[in-house]
Structure 1
Amino acid sequence: MPQFEVDGATLTYDDEGPHDDAGVPLVFVHGWTANRHRWDHQLTHFAQRRRVIRLDLRGHGESSGAGVRTVAALAEDVLALLDHLKVDRFVVVGHSMGGMIAQTIALSHPERVERMVLVNSIGRMAFSRGRGLLMAVSTLVPFKLFVATNIQRAFAPGYPREEIRAYVQASASLPQEVVMTLYGAMRAFDVLDRVGEIHTPTLLVHGYHDIQLPVSQMLRMAKDYPDAVIRILDAGHELPVEKPAELTEALDRFV
């Protein structure tokens, strides 16, 4: 379980698979309140023949650290780790907030990103006035209730309740400062008007039943991508664990 120190944080990561000329490394970035184990299925599959890197973002999983208030700052953490590992060019796969991080990297360092995969992610969080008010009010409820409400609604109907409870418990165990600060960072994230600048071949994979970041918002972004492939799967917002095999197959075909 290697670790890397960066700007007051200790990042825990995995670096597996062949380190030779087997192909450009795959870099997996998880979403808000999650951890690197969201990618267990993909790591097992791809590390058999390619180098695979995944990390716990600061304040998440087994990584320490706080104080990051923007998606761009999280992107700098990811790039610092890749520099440490001497990885210059890579394929980045990001889920939800991780997809926001991936887009930030693709815009700031296009020469380093060979391909990009955005899983249940968007370029701007845009909601009706009523939904926006509801989101603002939700931050005023007790922390554990706020987390439970957000995590429970991330899964499509029919997903096992006991597994959802485990994800809720894991998310609620994170430092409140990290959870709430990055919730604000996601709401402030906005590259929608710049996605046309991203000429990196991109796969947009989304869950049809996603009510956290609705598929309509992804399609609003997708129309401006110069070179994008779209896949819609029968799942909610948590595609990596709801439909792991289907997601892996979509990634395999693309990369």
Structure 2
Amino acid sequence: MTNVATVDLHFIDMPAEEATADATPLVVIHGLLGSADNWRSHLKVWQRTRRVIALDLRNHGRSPHAEGMQYATMANDVVALLDKLSIERAHVLGHSMGGKVAISLARMAPERVASLMVADIAPVAYEHGHDDVFAALDSVREGQPANRREADELLSQHVDSRPTRLFLATNLVRNDDNVMALRVGLDEIKRGYSDIIGVPDGEQAYEGPSLVLRGGDSHYVADDMLPALREVLPRARVVTLKDAGHWLHADQPEAFQQAVVAFIDAQ
């Protein structure tokens, strides 16, 4: 646990349309520079049988900006939200950075986690790989574009991939000066980047049921990382989605949704 104060996270809370016998809620945690809004199409599928909560991590989406991107700190934010919503236990799904938050939560407070699902991330340290993305967002902040077309032109100076630029553009909002501005805490994220690419927090292995979904075209959960993964998640089932990259939930949405449902139903 950390001494950093928790923040009051923004969240989307979708009630079950028809609760099953196991009505344990599902909590969804996005990745770096993502938000709960990115998951709405998936949430509509999963809410057919259970309550679903998707949250915005600190410095993301509509949540407050605050220093401290350590995984224990972000996991504590999630625990505070569970307490606020009177949720004792939940199935927890996290993608990328959110997967490391989910792993940290499961290791630090296993009694709160009914099952753990990790999407395309391993509990290992990664190399710095977001210089172009940070430069692109800085160019938008400095350029103060009047509309999304101008914002895309600024982003394209550093990021060639249009899908990536479209994803980054989800972090833009029109501010009081009528320009497209960043809603993420970019400076706080950059200052905390060494923690973000580091290992999850927690002292012990999570012994509960866990599923690791990885993209067949992604390098984020390579075979040589599996021994380290097994040390942290000894009961992990690893499933590879074909024709999917790091954003496997966007590349293969139906297969991703079905894998999550099947895993939860098997608990």
| TM class by smaller structure | 0.7 to 0.9
With normalisation by structure 2, the TM-score equals 0.75
Give the match for residue 229 of structure 1.
Answer: 237
Does the CA contact (< 8 Å) of 2:26 and 2:91 recur in 1?
A: yes
8 Å Cα contact 1:66-1:177 kept in structure 2: no
- Partner SS for 2:53: strand
Specify the alignment match of 1:14 in structure 2. Answer: 12
Structure with the largest fraction of helix: 1
2:207 to 190, 199, 204: 199
Q: 1:243 aligns with which of 243, 247, 252?
A: 252
* CA distance 1:9–1:113, change in 2 (3 Å): closer
Question: Which shows bigger deviation, 214-223 or 38-47?
Answer: 214-223
TM-score by length of 1: 0.78
- 1:177 aligns to what? 187
Q: Distance in 1 between matches of 2:125 and 2:251?
A: 22
Structure 1: gaps (5+ residues) = 1-5, 127-131, 154-160
- Aligned ranges for residues 100-139 of structure 1 at < 5 Å? 100-126=100-126, 132=127, 135=128, 138=131
Are the aligned partners of 2:6 and 2:76 in contact in 1 as well (CA < 8 Å)?
Answer: no
Could you tell me how far 1:169 is from its partner in structure 2?
Answer: 2.7
Counterpart of 2:137 (choices 126, 144, 150) is 144
Q: Is the partner of 2:76 in helix, strand or coil?
A: helix
In the alignment, is the contact (CA less than 8 A) between 1:25 and 1:50 conserved in 2? yes
**Partners of 1:125 and 1:187 within 8 A in 2:** yes
CA distance in 2, matches of 1:16, 1:190: 28
Runs (5+) with no aligned partner, structure 2: 141-154, 173-181
Cα deviation 1:124-179 (Å, max 9, x = unaligned): 125xxxxx4xx38948x846379969x969xxxxxxx5433211333583232133
Instruction: Determine whether 1:188 maps to 2:181.
Output: no
Based on CA coordinates, which of the two structures has the bigger radius of gyration? 2
Hey, what's the Cα distance between the residues in 1 that align with 2:103 and 2:200?
10
Letter in 1 for 2:244: A
CA distance in 2, matches of 1:136, 1:92: 26
| Farther-moved stretch of structure 1 (213-222 vs 9-18) | 213-222
2-structure distance, mates of 1:63, 1:163: 24
The residue number in structure 1 matching 2:177 is none
Q: CA deviation at 1:14?
A: 1.2
1:115 is paired with a residue whose SS is strand
The Cα shift of 1:239 comes to 1.6
Alignment of 1:74 onto 2:88: no
Helix, strand or coil at the partner of 1:72: helix
Partner amino acid, structure 2, of 1:239: L
Match for residue 96 of structure 1? 96
